[in-house]
């Protein structure tokens, strides 16, 4: 199933290569050159299934600030954070986030995308079932 993925990378060549790698998986890719642009795009997008972001970028926000904003405003939205110069201590990211060290091998990127999108689909399925979706008629008013 095709998903909408937001790719945030200031290096044009790397952004183009990564966008192609994500497109090969059958996903639609929206490209942004800065975290500021990405935040605007997220506010206007109808649907986004995953964000892939670099850490160091020009502008008011960097990739870590973008990620924190996403986690506070859209907590279910998975995020892949990439950097060659930044490390993130294990256990500090939400369960729907992953950190990849640049240079990123495309096979690793594909694996992490598949893992996070599978988690997102499962979370959405559980939410739909709880709300009585998917043909269910559950009454949760007594809980």
Q: Is residue 136 part of a domain?
A: no
Tell me the two tokens of residue 26: 């059958």
Tell me the two tokens of residue 67: 């990620």
Question: Containing domain of residue 38, as a range?
Answer: 4-130
Q: How many distinct structural domains can be found in the chain?
A: 1
> Are 43 and 87 within 8 A, CB to CB?
no
Q: How far apart are CA 118 and CA 123, in angstroms?
A: 9
Q: Is residue 135 part of a domain?
A: no
For the segment 98-140, what is each residue's pLDDT rounded down to a tens digit?
999 999 998 999 999 999 999 876 555 443 434 444 444 444 4
| Band (91; pLDDT cuts 50, 70, 90) | confident
Q: Is residue 141 part of a domain?
A: no
Q: What is the pTM of this model?
A: 0.83
The CATH number given to whatever domain includes residue 60 is: 3.40.50.2300
For the segment 67-79, what is each residue's pLDDT rounded down to a tens digit?
999 999 999 999 9
Q: How far is CA 28 from the centre of its chain?
A: 13
Q: Is residue 75 part of a domain?
A: yes
3-state secondary structure of 129: helix
First to last CA, the chain: 34
């Amino acid at each position: 199933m095709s998903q909408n993925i937001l790719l945030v990378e200031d290096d044009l060549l790397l952004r183009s290569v990564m966008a192609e790698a994500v497109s090969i998986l059958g996903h639609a890719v929206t490209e942004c050159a800065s975290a500021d642009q990405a935040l605007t795009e997220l506010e206007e997008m109808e649907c986004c299934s995953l964000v892939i972001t670099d850490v160091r970028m020009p502008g008011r926000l960097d990739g870590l600030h973008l990620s924190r904003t996403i986690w506070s405003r859209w907590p279910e939205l998975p995020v892949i954070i990439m950097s060659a110069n930044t490390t993130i201590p294990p256990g500090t990211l939400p369960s729907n986030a992953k950190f990849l060290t640049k240079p990123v091998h495309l096979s690793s990127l594909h694996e992490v995308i598949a893992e996070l999108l599978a988690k997102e689909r499962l979370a959405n399925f559980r939410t739909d079932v709880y709300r009585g979706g998917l043909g269910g008629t559950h009454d949760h008013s007594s809980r």
